[in-house]
Amino acid sequence: MSGLRAMLDITDLGADALREVLDLSRRPIVELGRPLEGDGVALVFEKPSNRTRHSMEMAVVQLGGHPVYTRGEEVGLDSREPVEDVIRVLAGYHRIVAARVFDHGHLVRMRDADVTTVVNLLSDRSHPMQALADVLTMSREFGDLSGRTVAWVGDYNNVARSLSEASLLLGMEVRLACPDGYHASVEELERLSRLGSGSVTQSADPRVAVTGAHAVHTDTWVSMGQEDDAAVRRAAFAEYTVDGALMEAAATEAIFMHCMPAYRGLEVTAEVFDGPRSRVIEQAHDRMHAARGLLAYMAGAR
Ligand code: CP
Ligand code: NVA
């Protein structure tokens, strides 16, 4: 193995490892060999998924391993049995345990059990597998990302945090545009600003963030588990729709990105989401290439 025992956040990688993972993600599958030959990879999902499940399952198969999917209800983290019992048992079957959880603390406890390699497939805190794909897509478009500008419009959520971390590690300028109550705290901005060689700023005004930006990202206003707050959230984000006029303020070569699932007419207009600047489908497909790169890295492929 690579020595990397867990990826709960992009910061578990650091800049050098992130670059190595991206290099592995770009390599033809045949060059990676079959570093997971004969190995199991557990995929535990407490929330729904389309992209993450399919991209992880295919990436495991491409590396010679065997993915085993289980729904959160079947595993019952801390309800059917304690998280520590679950991970100690799964460690006997699988080389890697990957999980999508409501509570990031459950991933921390899995990692701290120190019995196997743990990967975050989305938590309330972060979505590092998404961020790997995000920077892979942007690098295909722009080459070296250092000095390029990424704008985030909307909720400072799990996807925003991981995208900010990855972008900063690669030397990008990160500009956040988030409404009051849904923004990054001062402490969080300070933490981000200490990562890598990039820079981070925050504003309440989407135009400030987007003007001259090379990639404009957004995400749903209502993440999984926040459905009870949907009305309040939609009101708070009403001025944060990414539309054609906002994209006009971006750089001439700017692209639009979204982790999906997307809600046309809310966080993004159909015109932008389905328009020529949109890279959302390439970004979704990059989930598989990025997952393969990360798993290959963790399995020791170089
Ligand atoms: N972007 C993403 O993680 O999508 P899924 O929820 O479909 O996995
Ligand atoms: N922020 C969203 C991302 C979905 C992939 C959520 O957590 O539901």
pLDDT tens, position by position, 175-210: 999 999 999 999 999 999 999 899 999 999 999 999
Strand order across the beta sheet in which 149-153 lies = 199-203, 173-177, 149-153, 215-218, 255-258
Distance 168 CA to ligand 2 centre (A): 21
User: Which ligand approaches the C-alpha of residue 257 most closely?
Assistant: 1
Residue with CA at minimum distance from ligand 1 atom 1: 259
Residue 219, ligand 2, Cβ within 6 A: yes
User: pLDDT band at 2, cuts 50/70/90?
Assistant: low
Residue 126, ligand 1, Cβ within 6 A: no
Percentage of residues in the chain having pLDDT higher than 90: 98
Identified catalytic residue from 94, 95, 100, 161: 100
- CATH 3.10.310.10 is right for the domain spanning 128-284: no
Residue type, 291: A
Identical fold between 6-127+289-296 and 128-284:
yes
Best CA proximity match to 128, nearest among 107, 149, 151, 155:
107
CA distance linking residue 200 with residue 210, whole number of Å: 13
- Say what the pLDDT of residue 302 is: 72
Distance 216 CA to ligand 1 centre (A): 18
Annotated catalytic residue 66: no
Burial of 47 (0-12, 13-18, 19+ CB in 10 A): middle
What are the domain boundaries of the chain? 6-127+289-296, 128-284
Whether 63 shows a pLDDT value over 60: the answer reads yes
Annotated catalytic residue 100: yes
CB contact at 8 A, 18 and 69: no
| pLDDT tens, residue by residue, 66-121 | 999 999 999 999 999 999 999 999 999 999 999 999 999 999 999 999 999 999 99
Domain 6-127+289-296 class in CATH: alpha beta
Best CA proximity match to 252, nearest among 210, 209, 212:
212
Residue 39, ligand 2, Cβ within 6 A: no
User: pLDDT band at 266, cuts 50/70/90?
Assistant: very high
Annotated catalytic residue 134: no
Whether 3 shows a pLDDT value over 90: the answer reads no
Question: Is the pTM higher than 0.95?
Answer: yes
Burial of 158 (0-12, 13-18, 19+ CB in 10 A): buried
CA distance linking residue 209 with residue 262, whole number of Å: 21
Residues ≥6 apart with Cβ < 8 Å to 13: 4, 7, 21, 128, 169
Residue 249, ligand 1, Cβ within 6 A: no
Give CA torsion, residues 115, 120, 121, 124, to 10 deg: 130
User: Which ligand approaches the C-alpha of residue 55 most closely?
Assistant: 1
